[in-house]
Structure 1
Amino acid sequence: MAAVDEVLARARRAPAGEALATATARLIEAAEEEKLVDVVFARVDSPFGELLIASTPKGVVQLSLHGYDQNETLEDLATKVSPRIFESPRRLDDVRRELDEYFAGKRKSFDLPLDWQLSHGFALRVLKATARIPYGRVSSYRAMAEKAGNERATRAAGNALGGNAIPIIVPCHRVLRTGGGLGGYGGGLPMKEALLKMEGAIL
C-alpha cells in the first residue's frame, strides 16, 4: 500500500489547481503497482452510441453496447470478475483506437488480447469460432454449432451468441440464421445490418 499512500499524501499537498484527471491517473498507477486493480473500464463514443469497455490484465473482458445499463454492467463485472474496478480511459487507449479505426473502415481485424472468463464450455467454443469469421464474410448459427462440436445445437449456439460479452470485437453480428435472415442482435437489428453493410457482407 506504500505507493498508494504516497500518492494520497502528494494529492493532499498538491495545489488546488492540479488537474483531477492527473491525480486520478497517478492513483490508478499506484493501485496497479500494488496489484489493487483487477478491472479498468472506459466509455467510448461510436457511430452507434456510447460503448462501455472493460479490460483485465489478460485483455478485453466486456464491451457493452449502447442501450444497456452501464451500472448493471459494472455491477455484473464486480460480481463475476472482481469488485476492484477503476475507470481509466488512458489504460484503454489501444482498444479505443482500434474501435475508431474499425468504424472508420480502416481496420478489418482486431489485434487486442481477450479475456474469455465470462464464457464457458460450449458457449466459449462458439464464441472462439465466431472470432475467426473474417471481415466481410458471414456464417450461420448451424455452422457455429458445428464448429463448436455439436451441429444439432443451433439454438444453444444462438444463446451463446446472444450472451457474447465482447460484441464487435468478437463479431457475432456476422452470424445469420441458417435460412439467411439476420437473426437477433443485442444492439438491435438496425445496428447489425449497418455493421454488415459497412463490412460489405450484405448490400
Structure 2
Amino acid sequence: MEQHSAPTPTSVPQPPQSLAHWVIKTARPREMIDWYGRVFGASVVHEDKQIAFLTWDHESHRLALIKVPRFLRLLFPFSRFRRKVYGIDHLALTYDSLEPLLLNYERLKKMGITPVWSINHGPTTSFYYEDPDGTRLEFQTENFPTAEATAEFFATPEFAENPIGINTDPDYLLERLRAGTSATELLRLGAGTRPGTKPRANKRAITFKTL
C-alpha cells in the first residue's frame, strides 16, 4: 500500500491555479445565452427554470447564469452605474498574441458586436466589450514578452505620466498587421493611431475623498 506523508503546515500563500467560472444573475437569459454563444462560441451544457451552465473549453462550465424575475430589467441602467463606482469593474481574458485578438475583433464586428473601448494600456493592448446586462469583459494581449519586462515598464516615467494608455483603432492595427508590420511594432504605445488623427491619452481617474 502506497504511503503518503501528511501535508506540512505552511505560511506561504496557496493561490488557485486558474479561474474556474463566473456567475451572473440576469433577467434576460436568452439574450445572454445568445451573446456568449456568438462571442465565446459557448454552448449550454445544462439549463432549467433557475440556472443555465455554459462552456466553451475543457471546463465543465465557465459561466453560470442565474435567472431572476424579468421586472428587475428595470434596474439595468443602475447595474452599469454601479460598475463605474463600486465593486468589480470588469473581467480580463488574455490572448496569447495580437493576431487572434484582432481576428476575433473582426469576427465579432461582422455580427454587430464592437468594443465599447479600445486602448493600448502600455502593459496590454485591450478591447472592452459589454454583454447584454452591461457586464464588461476585457479581451487583451500582453505588450511585453515577460512579467519582468512589464514590471520594469511600471517603473518608467512614461507610465507615471500616463498610467491609463492611448486609445487605439483596431481596424488600423489589423490593416497594418496584414500589410506585414510586426506584432512587436503594433504593440507599441501609439502604434494603433491612424495617420491624421491625434493620439488620445487617457488619464481618467475617480477620486473619492473620505468625509
**TM score, norm. by length of structure 2:** 0.25
**TM score, norm. by length of structure 1:** 0.25
Query: Which protein is bigger by CA-based radius of gyration?
Result: 2
Higher strand share: 2
Higher helix share: 1
